[in-house]
Every structure is written in C-alpha cells, then in structure tokens.
Amino acid sequence: MADPEKRFETIIQKLRDNGHKITPQRMAIIKILAESKCHPSVEDIHDQIKNNFSTMSLATVYRNIVLIKSLGEILELGFPDGSNRYDGNKPYSHPHIICVKCKKIVDPDLDSLEDLKNELAVETNFKILNHRLDFFGICSNCMAEEV
C-alpha cells in the first residue's frame, strides 16, 4: 500500500498541473480516496464528508471521481449489483480477493500473474493493456466463525 500522504499530494499536484482548482470539498474527497480503506463507494465518501461538511453535494463527489479517473489517478471497480467502489491508493490494475461474508477486500501479491499474462498473450495474440481480476471466497476469520 502506498503512503496515503504521498498519494494525496500526487493527485493534488496532477490536478494543479492540469489547471484545476483545489477546493476544500475536493481535498476532502481526495483524502479519502488516497487512503481507500476498503475501497469506498460514492455513498461512503459522501457520508464520511457530510459529518464535517453538511452541505457537501453527492453530485460533487460524482464529478470529482469522473475528473480524477480521467487523470488516471483512481481505479474504478464496478460490480454486477451496480455498486461501484474506488481505489485511489493503487490506481492501476491489480488483483483483489473479496470475502463474500464480511465483504473485506484484500490486495494479494501474485508472482505467477506474469506467467498467466504471458500464456494469455501467446495463446490469443492480443496485446494486453490492463485487467480486472477478482477472486471471491471466504477469509480465514469468517471460516473460523462457521460452526
């Protein structure tokens, strides 16, 4: 996991470089995205900020996510049930493993992913650009709780 402070600064700088203003609302959103505890949803972000910023609009969260995504600084994870989750800490393709019980999301390091990509490139002749790899299972904690 990258240092949230550094990620925050990186995103802010990128916005500055592209001529965008740094507003308090924007900073609050980026602070949460830079940390990306548990890959928050738009609602999560909005709820969290509303505690300090009672007038924070949902539209502002959406707008900022679109903007920062267009700069390549957040990764969007869409799920079939329509829930979108965001990761501003590691904004590039990487595998996840998700506990179907407690919904925890873990980022594993998988050395053999390179082998898989090589096999894929050879077999399909595609030029591979990025990926979305999610595994679903039950974490050791939830497994222990099962009787």
- Counting Cα atoms < 13 Å in the Cβ hemisphere of 84 gives 11
Long-range contacts of 48-53 (CB under 8 A, 24+ apart): 49/25, 52/28, 53/24, 53/25, 53/28
Among 59, 129, 144, 147, binds DNA (CB under 7 A): 59
State the DSSP code for 41: B
Among 51, 52, 55, 130, binds DNA (CB under 7 A): 55
Quick one: which segment of 1-9, 51-59, 91-99, 106-114 binds DNA (CB under 7 A)? 51-59
Please, which residue, 84 or 141, has the CB nearer to DNA? 84
Q: What stretch of H or E contains 96? A: strand 96-99
Cβ proximity of 101 and 138 under 8 Å: yes
Please, which residue, 28 or 68, has the CB nearer to a second copy? 68
Residues within window 105-144 making contact with DNA, judged by CB under 7 A: none
Which residues would be at the binding site for a second copy (CB under 8 A)?
Answer: 76-82, 84, 95, 97, 99-100, 106, 108-113, 115-117, 119-120, 123-140, 143
Closest distance between DNA and the C-beta of residue 9, in Å? 14
What is the phi-psi region of residue 68: left when phi exceeds 0, alpha when psi lies from -120 to 50, beta otherwise?
alpha
Quick one: which segment of 3-11, 76-84, 90-98, 125-133 binds DNA (CB under 7 A)? 76-84
Q: Is 53 in the site for DNA (CB under 7 A)?
A: yes
Of 147, 136, 135, 139, the C-alpha closest to 102 is 139
Q: Which amino acid is at 87?
A: D
> Which residues of this chain interact with DNA, rule CB under 7 A?
16, 19-26, 42-43, 53, 55-60, 62-64, 66-67, 82-84
